[in-house]
Every structure is written in C-alpha cells, then in structure tokens.
Amino acid sequence: MKKKWWHDKVAYQIYPKSFYDSNGDGIGDIPGIISKLDYLKDLGVDIIWLSPCFCSPLADQGYDISDYYNIDPRFGTIEDIDVLLEEAKKRDMYILMDLVVNHCSDEHEWFEKACEDPMGEYGKFFYIQNGKEDGSEPNNWRSYFGGSAWDKLPGHEEENLYYLHLFHKKQPDLNWEHKEMREEVYKMINWWLDKGLAGFRIDAIINIKKALPVENYSYPADRDDGLVRPQRMLKDAVGIGEFLGEMHERTFKPHDSFAVGEVFDVEKKDLPEFIGDDGYFSSMFDFNETIFGSSDKGWYDAKKITPDDYKRCCFESQAEMDGVGYFSNIIENHDEPRGVSRYIPEGECTPRAKKLLGAMNFLLKGLPFIYQGQEIGMENVVLESIDQVDDISTLDEYQVAKNAGLSDEEALKVVNFFSRDNARTPMQWTDKAQAGFTTGTPWLYVNPNYTEINVAAQEEDPESVLNWYKALISLRKNPEYKETVVYGDTVPVLEDTHNLMAYYRKGENQTILVIGNYQPQAQTVELPCEIEKVLLDNTKGVQNEYSELPAFKDGKLTLEGYQTIAAVVKEA
C-alpha cells in the first residue's frame, strides 16, 4: 500500500443542520461551523466532512440537491464556504463535502426541464420510462424509503410515464449511462476541488449502475407489498467500474484529493479495484458493524449486536482490508443511532464503557471518523410519540413494523433504537437553554440529557469522554507510536474470550496491545505477552503513559469492568 497524505489524519463529520446555529433561526450554519474550528483543532481533528449544505428542499435533509454550485440560504452563502476553506487552511485542516450524484432533487433545473420535455436532452439525464401496458410501474423495485421506486412523471400524470427514484420521490435518480450527464457531474466536482476542497464523501454511489433494461428485472417480492429491495437489482447491475474509474481519472486523481465512498456489499475480490493503490476511491467506510443483524423484513426484525459480535465484525473487516487499502472507521454517522447506545448493552452505558468503545474502534487500522457529539458520548434519545420523528426512513420503518403486527408502543420502541434522528439532535455544547446550540427554537428537539452531557462540562473534567478522545488522538499523532497506530497490522488476541476485545497493532519495531473488558464485571485473562509501558488506561484518568502497571501477575492480567488499556508490549 502506497503511503498517502491523509493516512495519519483524524476526520470528523459535521451534520451542519445540527452543529451550531450562529443566527438564532434554529438551524445550524456555516458561520457556526467556522466559529467552532478552534474547538475541532484543539480536539485534534484534521479533516472535516460536511454533510450536504447545498441548495435543497431538505426532503431528505440536504441529500436532495437542487443546485450543486450554491449553498442553501438556511446554511449560509458560498462566501461563507470560501471563509471556511480559508480558515481551515490557516489551521492546517481540510474540508470535504458530500457528493450526492446518484440522484438530485426534483427541484433541480435538470429535472424540471425533463418534466417539461421528457423526450428532450434533460429527459435523458434521468430514468424516464413507460409503465407496463396495464399502466402499472415498469417493475417492482422498492425505494429505500418504502413504496415503489417509480412515480408518475410530474405534469404527465395522465400518461403512462414514470421516473425512477431509488430513494425518496423527491430524489430522482440521475442516469449515469448518459455521457452528457456524467460530464456535468465531473465539471461540478472539479469546480469544487479547484476552489480548495480536499475531497468528498461520496453518497450512495453503489446505486449509480442499474440493471437494464429495467422492465426485465422484476423479482419475486420479498415483503407483502409485492416489491423487492433495490439491493437485489444491484446484484445484476454489472459494470459500475466503468463509471467509477472514469470519475476517478477525471476528477479525484488529478487533484490528489481524498474520496471516501459510502459503499455497501463490495466483495472482497473487488476491494483492490475500489480502494487499492489506484482504486476508484481513496477509502471506503467500514459498515460491517452497522449492518450486523439487519433484516430484509425491516428494523423490527433486526438482531441486536453483542460485544462478541461487535468484535467479530471489526476483526472481519480488518482482515478483509489487510494488504489492500485503508478503510475509514466509524462508530456512528448521521444515518445510524448513537454508537454508545447501540454497541454497549442496555444499562451499561457509563463514561467508562463509552471510553472502551471509543478506544476499540479508534485504534483499529484505518482512518478514524468521529461523528459530531461522539467525542462527548452523546446517546440515543427516548421518544414518547411517533409525531416527534422527523426522519423519513424512521417514519417508513414505523409503518413497516406496524404492518407486521407490532403495537404502536412496540413499533415506537423499535424505531427509537434505530432512528436516524438519534444522531441528528442538536450538538450539546453547554448546559444552558437548547444545549447552547441555538438562541432560538431548534429545528429538532435537544436530547434532555444535555444538562449532564455537554462539551463545556467535559472540557473542565480531566476524566471526561472528551478528554479521553483527545488522548486517543494524541496517541495517534505521537511520533513515538504513530507509525504503529497508523500502519501497524491488526492481529486479534484472545479472540475467543467472551466479552473481551483485544488486538495487537504490530509495527516494524513495536507492538501495541489494545485490550478492553467489554462487560461490567472484572475479568482475569492470561496474556500471551508482557506489558512494557501503559499508554492509556480508562480507569486512571486520561494522561498518556503510566508508570504504574495494571494488576498483572504471573502472566495474568485482571481488568476491572469496562477497563481498557493500550500498552506497548515486549516481544509478542
């Protein structure tokens, strides 16, 4: 693997709408982000990924873009972005934006023109298609947000004319088979990269290749609605590499930019093409833990993940990526519940457990992405009614659960656990009104636990989760350990020990052991190595490097409940 400029960095995802509101309208904005750059710098962040803040009707919170070249006035102006880029540069920080080009908004002028003249140039930018002879949809694909992926073309409701939207009906899919459309996308990417962006996080990109002609690809239904999940069709959609390779050659490669793909379901044999030295992307997210236990039937049927499952998922991905490329590791993002509420068993979500989870994930090989609020251990929020939900996907899953026979209460409990809103509640800055996020009324409720969990309080507390994250980041950047933490191989240790997650990071001349007792009870383990120097211990505050060794006798190490240690070991 060739070394790249971004390998040793630490990345942070901002969901602009919920990060910091500078003008009191209840919506986070770019000036708000600028005012928090010093906070992020102090945390140790190098790369910032902004979820979309382009012009958008916000049907899917900005993942429905109506103008790729402009910022939605609710988030600021294009000049604010220029200032953000400048201010980031002054601090040696890099900005990534979200590249959403599987679809645009139905309010984008391309789609408006396509509706005016479906047979004209812009009609070809989309999948516009006659329905079946009986007037029904061209096939039985379901959209990711529920219901058919086909809708009647606006303005042509009396005709048998449909357009495809794999996501919301306000997100028509762009037709990547059409060269002129691709050229528009590359022009736009290069415009942003020339402006000074360091790269992109690439949304839903695995969907750009469809199985065609669409009428040949109906499948047996996988639910009572007679439809089939879009992932089934993607299996038959071969040849995506042609588009991804072209995009890479024309945009990211000449700029030496960083491109991280939101990619699901890539087979191991194809990984080199995706993230190898000259792959389509610089990196892709490891979603192995987030997809664990998911069910075709819906969230209500998903299996909960245990600490042992979590460990297995992480190790599986580490092995998969070994020698191929560099994954981007996450605990959560704006599409997932809060990681601490998901990966720590119910009732055990203490600051110490949060630190264990942080360390276990952060010290794996790969580029760590911290999602806003993760660094202070923000948790899921408990909802009392489905009326409080904003997220379209949660609303759909609630219905799916109810259709499957769950009561209102049971369905609410299920969606509460997985809801994307959990990650989208406002960032908790202080214990003041609205968690210091806004002086107005926030667009989405604040988690009531902000009085306990907030940045201001944690900055003051040397033992806080926030200071633990700072310590993890300084370890990654410490010249003495950096090579090992960034490039060392991951080797599982005591893999079959229940509720224990442990691994070596093996560098050229150094081995670091990361070990965590993933349960509230103490546990004694026989270590296959000898500890030389403890670098981090979540039972001892957060300063680096302890002279005192943990309870270690005759090769046996006793760990307290949720105790986590990172240590240099003697020859292992």
Burial class (CB in 10 A: 0-12, 13-18, 19+), 431: middle
Contacts 24+ apart (CB under 8 A), 307-312: 307/343, 307/345, 307/499, 307/501, 307/518, 307/519, 308/498, 308/499, 310/343, 310/360, 310/501, 310/518, 311/360, 311/495, 311/501, 311/518
Footprint of ligand NOJ on 223-262 (CB under 6 A): 262
Q: How far is the CB of 207 from ligand NOJ (least distance, A)?
A: 9
Interaction between residue 80 and ligand NOJ (CB under 6 A): no
Q: How far is the CB of 287 from ligand NOJ (least distance, A)?
A: 11
Nearer to ligand NOJ, 167 or 437 (CB): 167
* Residue 379 is a catalytic residue: no
Nearer to ligand NOJ, 143 or 538 (CB): 143
What is the sign of the dihedral through the CA atoms of 393, 394, 395 and 401?
positive
Nearer to ligand NOJ, 146 or 488 (CB): 146
Peptide bond preceding 448 in cis form (omega within 30 of 0): no
The residue whose two tokens read 């000259």 is: 278
Q: How far is the CB of 66 from ligand NOJ (least distance, A)?
A: 14
* Residue 286 is a catalytic residue: no
Residue choice 335, 489, 545, 560 for contact with ligand NOJ (CB under 6 A) = 335
Sheet with 367-371: list strands edge to edge: 283-284, 258-261, 199-202, 94-99, 47-50, 11-14, 367-371, 328-329
Q: What is the C-alpha to C-alpha distance for residues 414 and 407, in angstroms, rounded to an integer?
A: 11
Footprint of ligand NOJ on 260-299 (CB under 6 A): 262
Q: What is the C-alpha to C-alpha distance for residues 361 and 564, in angstroms, rounded to an integer?
A: 12
Nearer to ligand NOJ, 60 or 286 (CB): 60
Element (H, E) at 38: helix 37-43
Q: How far is the CB of 61 from ligand NOJ (least distance, A)?
A: 7
How are beta strands 150-152 and 161-164 bridged, if at all?
antiparallel
Catalytic residue among 262, 375, 396, 537: 262
**If DSSP codes are grouped into helix, strand and coil, which group holds residue 140?**
coil
Q: How far is the CB of 50 from ligand NOJ (least distance, A)?
A: 13
Nearer to ligand NOJ, 97 or 569 (CB): 97
Q: Which amino acid is at 136?
A: S
Q: Which amino acid is at 442?
A: P
Q: How many chain residues touch ligand NOJ (CB under 6 A)?
A: 9
Q: What is the C-alpha to C-alpha distance for residues 357 and 339, in angstroms, rounded to an integer?
A: 8
Residue choice 75, 94, 141, 167 for contact with ligand NOJ (CB under 6 A) = 167
Q: How far is the CB of 383 from ligand NOJ (least distance, A)?
A: 19
Residue choice 21, 173, 203, 396 for contact with ligand NOJ (CB under 6 A) = 203
Interaction between residue 204 and ligand NOJ (CB under 6 A): yes
Nearer to ligand NOJ, 444 or 513 (CB): 444
Are the beta carbons of 274 and 266 closer than 8 angstroms?
A: yes
Q: What angle do CA 358, 367, 50 make, to 5 degrees?
A: 90
Q: How far is the CB of 402 from ligand NOJ (least distance, A)?
A: 22
Footprint of ligand NOJ on 88-127 (CB under 6 A): 100
Nearer to ligand NOJ, 36 or 334 (CB): 334
**If DSSP codes are grouped into helix, strand and coil, which group holds residue 161?**
strand
Residue choice 21, 29, 46, 60 for contact with ligand NOJ (CB under 6 A) = 60
Nearer to ligand NOJ, 206 or 427 (CB): 206
Rounded to 5 degrees, φ, ψ at 95 are: -110, 130
Interaction between residue 15 and ligand NOJ (CB under 6 A): no
Interaction between residue 332 and ligand NOJ (CB under 6 A): no
Q: How far is the CB of 303 from ligand NOJ (least distance, A)?
A: 23
Nearer to ligand NOJ, 170 or 506 (CB): 170
Catalytic residue among 106, 203, 379, 391: 203
Footprint of ligand NOJ on 373-412 (CB under 6 A): none
Q: What is the C-alpha to C-alpha distance for residues 463 and 238, in angstroms, rounded to an integer?
A: 51
| CA atoms within 13 A of residue 405's CA, in its CB half-sphere | 3
Footprint of ligand NOJ on 345-374 (CB under 6 A): none
What is the sign of the dihedral through the CA atoms of 101, 103, 105 and 111?
positive
Q: How far is the CB of 63 from ligand NOJ (least distance, A)?
A: 3
Q: What is the C-alpha to C-alpha distance for residues 462 and 306, in angstroms, rounded to an integer?
A: 30
Q: What is the C-alpha to C-alpha distance for residues 421 and 394, in angstroms, rounded to an integer?
A: 8
Give the nearest residue (CB) to ligand NOJ: 63
Q: What is the C-alpha to C-alpha distance for residues 279 and 325, in angstroms, rounded to an integer?
A: 9
Interaction between residue 63 and ligand NOJ (CB under 6 A): yes
Active site residues: 203, 262
Binding residues vs ligand NOJ (CB under 6 A): 60, 63, 100, 167, 203-204, 262, 334-335
